[in-house]
Amino acid sequence: MNPTLEIIDAAEMAKRLTVTESWIRDQTRSRSKDPIPHFRFGTYVRFEWNNPKLLAWLERHRAGS
């Protein structure tokens, strides 16, 4: 794991993206067209902030992109 990566949970991800936690969780489900890059520990969903895959996902979903 890259030492500059920060592991955050769905609540923190929602806070940083200014969306609801339920929206974040919906975007991690397999039925999502382009799910947010994440990993699971059982039922716990976690994200690697500053991960290149997450940054690419954010860029694809910017308004106007």
* Strands, E assignment, 1-65: 6-9, 39-41, 44-49
What is the reported pLDDT for 30? 86
The predicted structure's pLDDT at residue 2: 60
Q: What is the pLDDT of residues 29-61, one digit of tens each?
A: 989 899 999 999 999 999 999 999 999 999 998
Q: Which of residues 30 and 8 earns the better pLDDT score? A: 8
Q: Do residues 50 and 13 lie in contact, with contact meaning Cβ atoms separated by under 8 Å?
A: no
Task: Give the pLDDT of residue 4.
Answer: 77
Alpha carbons within 13 A on the beta-carbon side of 13: 25
Q: Of the candidates 55, 42, 39, 47, which has an alpha carbon nearest to the alpha carbon of residue 6?
A: 47
pLDDT, position 5: 80
Residue 62's pLDDT is 86
